[in-house]
Amino acid sequence: MSFLSPLFLWAIPLMSIPLILHLLNRRNIKTVEFSSIRFLKKLEHDSIRKLKILQILLLIIRTLMILAIVMMLSRPVLKGVFNWIDDPSSTFVAIVIDDTFSNYGDAEFISRQDIDRKALKSILSRLDENVTICISSLTGGERYHGRVGDFRRNDDFLKIAAGTGNFFERFRAVQKTLQRDYANLELYVLSDAQAVNFESSFADSLDLGEWNVYFSKLPELESNLAISDVKLLTEIPLTNIPVEIAVEVLNTGKQDVENALMQMIINDINVGQQIISIKAGQKRSYSFLTAFHDTGRIRGKVVLQNDNREEDNTYYFHVNLPDQLTVQLISHKAEDALFVENALKALNKDARLLDISVNTETVLPTLDLRRTDVVILQGIASVSPGVQDKLKAFLKAGGHLILFPGSDQKMLLPLDFLNISTVGTGQVTLPGDAFQIIDEKTVSGSAAKALTDGAEKTGAIRFFRFIRLNDRKHAVVRLKNDQSIWNRRSYSDGVVDIFAFAPDLKWSNFPLKGSFIPFWNLLLYWGTNSSHSGSLTTDQNWSYDLNVQDLKNKLTLLMPDGTSMLLNADSDRKIKLKNIPQIGFISLLSGQKVLTELAVNPPPVELSSKTLTDEQIRSAITDDTVIIEDYRALASAMENARHGTELWYWFLIALAILTLFEMYLANVYGTRSSGQ
């Protein structure tokens, strides 16, 4: 729809001037004498016909020129998308800023954060100071609610966060702040339009029909690689043993990336680098091979060279290698533990890796497991309720319990107190020289594979006796006769390994195999405490159990940027965080003591989610949503959507084109007339 200014409607009859002049010109006839009728006929059929066509074209063009001038003076306006009532006191404007991680980055030689700042400034400049505004962000919630004239912005007002958020949840909170009816309801969304932030199960229940919606869409990143995941492929990382680490990289920019540098850094030492190339929109996996020479919690980073978004160029992770495993070996008879004890001592040549304690079952009543990592029970037929409670507490703390039968034992220790049903139904002794070997197809896990390593050269391990294990579901290794000889179960945060054979020559020839000592090395570390601790993401819940001593000091989180955050423990002596505030290595301190360290990365969905098209944005919000691709056009888009689009500029362009065309035709017409 459009309207004209009535002040200049009187000028419309002026369009008839060219027609009047044309008619008058036709009466101005010249008589030209020719010596031959032949020339008159030629003039009639050629020149006169062309001149008439030129005259008609000039008539039409001059008429249109006058019409263009009249329309310019009348200033027609194409009606705006929205109904707008000019009443600042009855206008409510909601501004929702997408401050999720994906909004980091540079585009068009300016940071996206600065683009949002300029867009916000442009919006506010078009609002009367008496308009009520509510400014909020997806991760930070409401930031300001009040009059435009009272709003004061600081430098950190539009700071991008490290997590993720949801537009519809934020808009629902904005709707709840409305205390009365307004003549005008406007909603401005400043976002990169990442799909994950505009998905919600209750989106259809929100009424956006009364709102005038503007969507300021950030430009996409031109060149950007992001590290989305790092995984330790080596199941049991140990010192001085090759470890393979896989890295997953996404190209989230619009351009193909060629010859980008990627580096692996362990404990601040560069241990490897690769040159990678990835096409736009694709994902590729790479791997590094390294070795750890130190124990304890090891810091790891994978770093890409800088591009349009530096914040996703580094991935942080930890690998836990215990400083020293404390192992308690308890057997029914001392001679039962001989092979296991010698294997542990062989592993512990320099007394650094293991703290070994060897005892018989007489120590069970006074057993202290508070600082123990691994408990090996061999040939123990029963334990008292008190010892049962100690074992349960040990497993709840992440302990590793290993159970073997004794050399003369026909049944395993019942584990009903761990909610593990009967573990065996009696000993099976094969007759004569008969034996069973492992079915290699059933083997899973690095420690289990040690049972079959070297079988081609030295022959497979032979089993002469075994206790029949009932639980096939949790089998780690089976024999060719489909009997399980090793089950693995979990209890709380701990692990229970149940073996059906004794480490004794009466039961198998395994103690004589070269894989016997490596098997124990892998088995001891195949518990929960020695595993790859990986990393957390900023949108994850995190908790940490404190002891009484920790509570005596101030509890703080030390951030990668040097800032700190005070924490309070709950009634259960736990620190709990719903969201982790920053990316990088974060330390939890009790006073000056570091209790633990977190490796934190952005949520994977913030790296991999697609960008919505304009049609998808309108489908998700409202069909009338005004989408602005260039923040510099935001103010004019607001004006056009509210009050309409003035068309005089287009009529000016039309007038200029018609004038040039008219001058050309008039020159042709004049030249031909003079030639006659």
Share of the chain above pLDDT 70, in %: 87
The string of DSSP letters for 244-308 reads: EEEEEEEE-SSS-EEEEEEEEEETTEEEEEEEEEE-TT-EEEEEEEE-B-S-EEEEEEEEEPP-S
Using CA atoms, how far residue 375 sits from 83, 257, 474, 516, 526, in Å, is 76, 52, 20, 18, 13
Rg for the chain (alpha carbons), in Å? Answer: 41
**Least confident range of 8-12, 224-228, 344-348, 546-550:** 8-12
Give me 427's structure tokens.
């000993």
**Which pLDDT value is given to residue 531?**
47
Closest CA to 235 of 404, 396, 448: 448
- The yes-or-no verdict on residue 672 having pLDDT over 70 is no
d(CA 646, CA 666): 32
**Region of poorest pLDDT, from 20-34, 185-199, 232-246, 328-342:** 20-34
Mean pLDDT (whole number) for 29-46 = 56
Q: What is the pLDDT of residue 4?
A: 46
Q: Which residues contact 514 (CB under 8 A, 6 or more apart)?
A: 454, 458
Task: Report which secondary-structure segment, H or E, holds 427.
Answer: strand 427-429
The Cα–Cα gap between 221 and 618 comes to 22
pLDDT(314) > 80: yes
475-508 pLDDT, tens digit per residue, is 999 999 999 999 999 998 899 999 999 999 999 9
CATH topology classification for 88-220+614-643? Rossmann fold (3.40.50)
> 418-472: per-residue pLDDT in tens?
999 877 778 999 999 999 999 998 887 778 888 887 776 678 999 999 999 988 8
How far is the CA of 14 from the CAs of 630, 657, 665, in angstroms? 41, 20, 22
Q: Report whether 276 contacts 227 (CB < 8 A).
A: no
The structure tokens listed for 369 are 């497991």
pLDDT at residue 492, rounded to an integer: 87
Q: What is the CATH number that goes with domain 225-322?
A: 2.60.40.10
CA-to-CA distance for 226 and 3, rounded, in angstroms?
52
**Residue 162: DSSP 8-state:** S
* Start-end of CATH 3.40.50.410 domains in the chain: 88-220+614-643
Provide the β-strand partners of residue 133.
93, 146
Query: What DSSP string runs through 197-261?
Result: GG--TTGGGS--TTSEEEEEEPPPPSS-EEEEEEEE-SSS--BTS-EEEEEEEEE-SSS-EEEEE
SS3 526: coil
Six-digit token pair at 237?
A: 């990382």
Contact 186, 626 (CB under 8 A): no
- The whole-number average pLDDT for the span 332-341 is 93
Look up residue 417 and give its two tokens.
């107190």
The CA–CA distances, whole Å, from 11 to 1, 4, 66, 70 equal 22, 12, 9, 6
CATH 3.40.50.880 boundaries in the chain = 325-525
Tell me the β-bridge partners of 97: 137, 190
Locate 563 and state its tokens: 């800032």
Give yes or no for residue 664 having a pLDDT over 90.
no
Cα(first)–Cα(last) distance of the chain, in Å? 50
Predicted local confidence at residue 256, as pLDDT: 97
Type of residue numbered 35: S
Please name the CATH architecture into which domain 536-601 falls.
Sandwich (2.60)
User: Contact 493/528 with Cβ under 8 angstroms?
Assistant: yes
Cα dihedral sign, 393-395-396-397 = positive
Residues 57-110 pLDDT 10s? 877 887 888 877 877 777 676 666 788 888 999 999 999 999 999 999 999 889
Cβ atoms < 10 Å from Cβ of 540: 16
List residues bridging with 565 in a β-sheet.
557
Q: Give the separation between CA 318 and CA 297, rounded to whole angstroms.
A: 7
Give mean pLDDT, residues 161-187. 93
Q: List the one residue out of 161, 338, 321 whose CA is nearest residue 239.
A: 321
Confidence of residue 303 (pLDDT cuts 50, 70, 90): very high
Q: How far apart are CA 462 and CA 512, in angstroms?
A: 11
Condensed to tens digits (0 to 9), the pLDDT of residues 206-216 reads 778 889 999 99
pLDDT in tens, 512-522: 998 899 899 88
At the fourth CATH level, which superfamily is domain 325-525? Class I glutamine amidotransferase (GATase) domain (3.40.50.880)
Can you spell out the DSSP letters for 296-350? EEEEEEEEEPP-S-GGGSEEEEEEEE-S-EEEEEEESSGGGGHHHHHHHHHHTTT
Rounded Cα distance between 119 and 627, Å, is 13
CATH 2.60.40.10 residue window(s) in the chain: 225-322
* pTM for this entry: 0.72
Choose among 217, 219, 215: nearest CA to 95.
215
Distance, in Å, from the CA atom of 312 to the CA atom of 262, rounded to the nearest integer, reads: 13
